[in-house]
């Protein structure tokens, strides 16, 4: 159990959204969108100070805190904890740099947290935090508290004039992990030499390096190797412009023209996230989770997608490559997953009991935890790809032929991490020719898209491709399949 103290400061700022399909476009070709957001982040874990600047009670920090005015972005900082943690969020209202006349209060609503109404952040039934105007005095600050009862994927947002403040970007992800203790109560334990056991049985697929933060819920089936937050939202640039200018906008005329994943639209969703590596690496108590949206895994790995919809439209989220299992919704484990665990079903009888799919409709305010195993496709497909079968020439020889007719028809794909300036590009022709001695190398990496299946929402101001689209890069696994085919 830890006491985790976050300090968030409400202010405004700008985000830059792509309007061309070029990866890494010049900044001036982007559209600047006026936004609101929370800045700051983790201040303290127990007695250990993570970011001393966030001590708002120390007059010496006030200058630094005021410098944060106008630096708001989308999304707001990640808030993370584990079961039984006591999480405190102190809110300070810096006011708006672009609109100093806007003196709205702000709040923190921990969406999905079981808090008493006083701490719920709905201003009409509690309170709002006013702007810090007297700069000679300690800023007005209120501290929200919640006890992390259940693991899961939640969110937080401002609830003052929610129609506008949410649209303007005042939201972030809130993630609760199981604790070692809560896992142990579910029969999941790590031995002194770091091996994992479930009800006394060794779990060879879970590496020694795994921690309680490699489980989504208190259930052995919710183990994952990697995890990603996919915080979905939508932007009506006309509304944002109205707020910037101070003119009236009728919320009923909402008509988005940008659709975002973690505050960015494709192709920016493939780039390293600007919010990564801030306040994250200081302390082993902190999680590795971040807002990266280019999923990068090895074949065979299990990965978790924490889907959060903060937008105003339903998102039919579709994943190419494999079918996902819904292991949780709104911070509760999927009952089928848990039932199969309780019944100790084997894999084959268990399959029919899994809540699986390839598209899930995520309404506003909903979260889904999707678990995927990047199953190896070589057993069924490697022979056709490299050698050909059933009288058909191999995929690679067909592609080679296509290249002689129209080389531009073979797409160059940026590999992760994408370095702007010198992105490494690969295409399937190159992959086919990677190594003539080992056919396994002629199959990987693979790239699977995942996207909003309202496909007009994978555009930026009408330009395709854009919007809520990103990739999954899947690398060669650590093992090889037998190259000998009959």
Q: Tell me which residue has its CB nearest to Cu ion.
A: 158
The two tokens of residue 414 are: 């940026």
Contacts of 17 (CB under 8 A, 6+ apart): 30, 31, 33, 235, 258, 260, 264, 265, 268, 460
CA–CA separation, 148 vs 150, rounded Å? 6
DSSP annotation of 247 reads -
Q: Which is nearer to Cu ion, 76 or 182 (CB)?
A: 76
- Across the strands, what pairs with 328? 333, 369
CA–CA separation, 5 vs 285, rounded Å? 13
- For the CB of residue 84, give the shortest distance to Cu ion in the complex, in Å: 30
Contacts of 267 (CB under 8 A, 6+ apart): 18, 21, 22, 23, 24, 465, 466
Helices 395-405 and 378-386 meet at what angle, rounded to 10? 50
- For the CB of residue 14, give the shortest distance to Cu ion in the complex, in Å: 17
Q: Which is nearer to Cu ion, 124 or 380 (CB)?
A: 124
Q: Which is nearer to Cu ion, 103 or 425 (CB)?
A: 103
CA–CA separation, 17 vs 238, rounded Å? 14
Phi, psi of 396 (to 5 degrees): -65, -40
Contacts of 183 (CB under 8 A, 6+ apart): 189, 212, 215, 218
- CB–CB of 341/188 below 8 Å? no
- For the CB of residue 252, give the shortest distance to Cu ion in the complex, in Å: 20
- For the CB of residue 124, give the shortest distance to Cu ion in the complex, in Å: 13
- For the CB of residue 259, give the shortest distance to Cu ion in the complex, in Å: 22
Q: Which is nearer to Cu ion, 161 or 455 (CB)?
A: 161
Q: What are the helix (H) ranges across 246-394?
A: 335-343, 347-351, 378-386
Q: Which is nearer to Cu ion, 69 or 106 (CB)?
A: 106
- CB–CB of 483/458 below 8 Å? no
Q: Which is nearer to Cu ion, 170 or 386 (CB)?
A: 170
Q: Which is nearer to Cu ion, 79 or 160 (CB)?
A: 160
Q: Which is nearer to Cu ion, 103 or 379 (CB)?
A: 103
- For the CB of residue 10, give the shortest distance to Cu ion in the complex, in Å: 6
- For the CB of residue 39, give the shortest distance to Cu ion in the complex, in Å: 13
Q: Which is nearer to Cu ion, 217 or 239 (CB)?
A: 239
Cis check: omega of the bond before 441, within 30 degrees of 0: no
- In the block, tokens 């302390």 appear at 283
Q: Is 118 in a helix, a strand, or coil?
A: helix
- For the CB of residue 450, give the shortest distance to Cu ion in the complex, in Å: 31
- For the CB of residue 315, give the shortest distance to Cu ion in the complex, in Å: 23
Q: Which residues bind Cu ion (CB under 5 A)?
A: 106, 158, 160, 165, 170
């Amino acid at each position: 159990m830890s006491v985790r103290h976050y300090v968030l400061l409400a202010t405004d700022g700008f985000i830059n959204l792509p309007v061309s399909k070029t990866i890494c476009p010049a900044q001036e070709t982007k559209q600047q969108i006026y936004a609101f957001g929370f800045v700051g982040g983790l201040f303290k874990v127990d007695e250990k100070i993570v970011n001393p600047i966030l001590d708002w009670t120390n007059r010496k920090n006030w200058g630094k805190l005021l410098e944060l005015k106008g630096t708001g972005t989308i999304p707001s900082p990640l808030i993370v904890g584990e079961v039984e943690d006591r999480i405190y969020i102190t809110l300070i209202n810096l006011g708006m740099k672009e609109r100093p006349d806007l003196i709205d209060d702000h709040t923190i609503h921990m969406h999905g947290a079981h808090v008493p109404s006083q701490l719920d952040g709905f201003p009409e039934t509690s309170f709002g935090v006013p702007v810090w105007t007297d700069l000679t005095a300690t800023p007005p600050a209120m501290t929200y508290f919640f006890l992390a009862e259940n693991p899961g994927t939640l969110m937080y947002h401002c609830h003052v004039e929610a129609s506008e403040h949410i649209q303007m970007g005042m939201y972030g992800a809130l993630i609760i992990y199981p604790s070692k203790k809560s896992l142990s109560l579910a029969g999941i334990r790590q031995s002194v030499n770091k091996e994992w056991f479930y009800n006394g049985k060794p779990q060879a697929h879970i590496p020694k390096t795994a921690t309680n933060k490699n489980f989504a819920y208190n259930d052995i089936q919710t183990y994952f190797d990697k995890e990603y937050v996919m915080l979905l939202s939508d932007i009506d640039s006309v509304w944002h412009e109205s707020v910037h200018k101070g003119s009236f906008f009728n919320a009923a005329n909402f008509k988005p023209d940008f659709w975002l994943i973690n505050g960015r639209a494709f192709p920016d969703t493939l780039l390293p996230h600007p919010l990564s590596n801030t306040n994250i690496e200081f302390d082993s108590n902190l999680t590795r989770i971040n807002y990266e949206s280019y999923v990068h895994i090895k074949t065979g790995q299990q990965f978790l997608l924490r889907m959060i919809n903060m937008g105003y439209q339903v998102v039919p989220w579709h994943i190419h490559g494999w079918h996902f299992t819904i292991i949780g919704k709104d911070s509760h484990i999927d009952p089928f997953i848990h039932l199969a665990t309780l019944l100790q079903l084997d894999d084959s009888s268990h399959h029919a009991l899994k809540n699986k799919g390839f598209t899930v409709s995520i309404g506003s305010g909903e979260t889904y935890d999707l678990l995927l195993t990047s199953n190896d496709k070589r057993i069924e497909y490697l022979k056709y790809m490299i050698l050909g079968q059933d009288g058909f020439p191999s995929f690679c020889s067909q592609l080679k032929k296509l290249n002689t007719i129209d080389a531009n028809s073979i797409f160059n794909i940026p590999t992760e991490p994408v370095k702007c300036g010198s992105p490494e590009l690969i295409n399937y022709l190159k992959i086919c020719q990677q190594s003539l001695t080992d056919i396994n190398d002629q199959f990987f990496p693979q790239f699977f898209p995942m996207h909003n299946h309202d496909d007009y929402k994978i555009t930026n101001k009408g330009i395709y491709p854009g919007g809520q689209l990103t990739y999954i890069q899947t690398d060669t696994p650590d093992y090889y399949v037998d190259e000998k085919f009959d």
